[in-house]
């Protein structure tokens, strides 16, 4: 289930309270961001217990500085509060799925 994040505090709480968390950073007028969103949301749904968060940089501009984001969309996988994998601008869904699968499997052995 998608969780909308509306502040830096919500973002930090999100990655700290979930062992495996997937974050999608987007902007309002980004057609690629809106096209990728349902794809990554469907991917995350295949993995029980993986939290899916969406943060809109148009609303929370400080997220760009916090995460050193220069372009959107950006998809980041966090494990135990640490960034483990990041893709920006051009999202390779196969690589994203592979990385998520590896991390999911390592936590569920």
The residues that bridge with 55 in the sheet, in sequence order, are: 5, 25
pLDDT at 18: 97
Q: What is the pLDDT along the chain (109 residues), one digit of tens a residue?
A: 899 999 999 999 999 999 999 999 999 999 999 999 999 999 999 999 999 999 999 999 999 999 999 999 999 999 999 999 999 999 999 999 999 999 999 998 7
pLDDT at 7: 97
pLDDT at 1: 82
pLDDT at 109: 78
CB 87 within 8 Å of CB 33: no
pLDDT at 2: 93
The two structure tokens encoding residue 59: 């609303």
Instruction: Establish whether the linkage from the previous residue to 45 is cis, with ω within 30° of 0.
Output: no
Helices (H), 18-50: 31-45
Residues 6+ apart with CB under 8 A from 26: 33, 34, 37, 54, 55, 56, 57, 72, 73
């Amino acid at each position: 289930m998608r969780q909308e994040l509306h502040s830096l505090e919500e973002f930090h709480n999100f990655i700290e309270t979930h062992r495996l968390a997937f974050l999608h950073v987007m902007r309002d007028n980004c057609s690629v961001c809106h096209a990728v969103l349902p794809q990554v949301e469907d991917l995350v749904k295949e993995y029980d217990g993986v939290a899916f968060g969406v943060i809109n940089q148009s609303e929370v501009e400080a997220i760009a500085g916090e995460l050193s984001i220069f372009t959107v969309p950006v998809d980041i996988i966090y494990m135990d509060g640490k960034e483990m994998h990041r893709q920006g601008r051009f999202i390779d869904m196969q690589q994203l799925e592979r990385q998520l699968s590896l991390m999911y499997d390592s936590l569920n052995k």
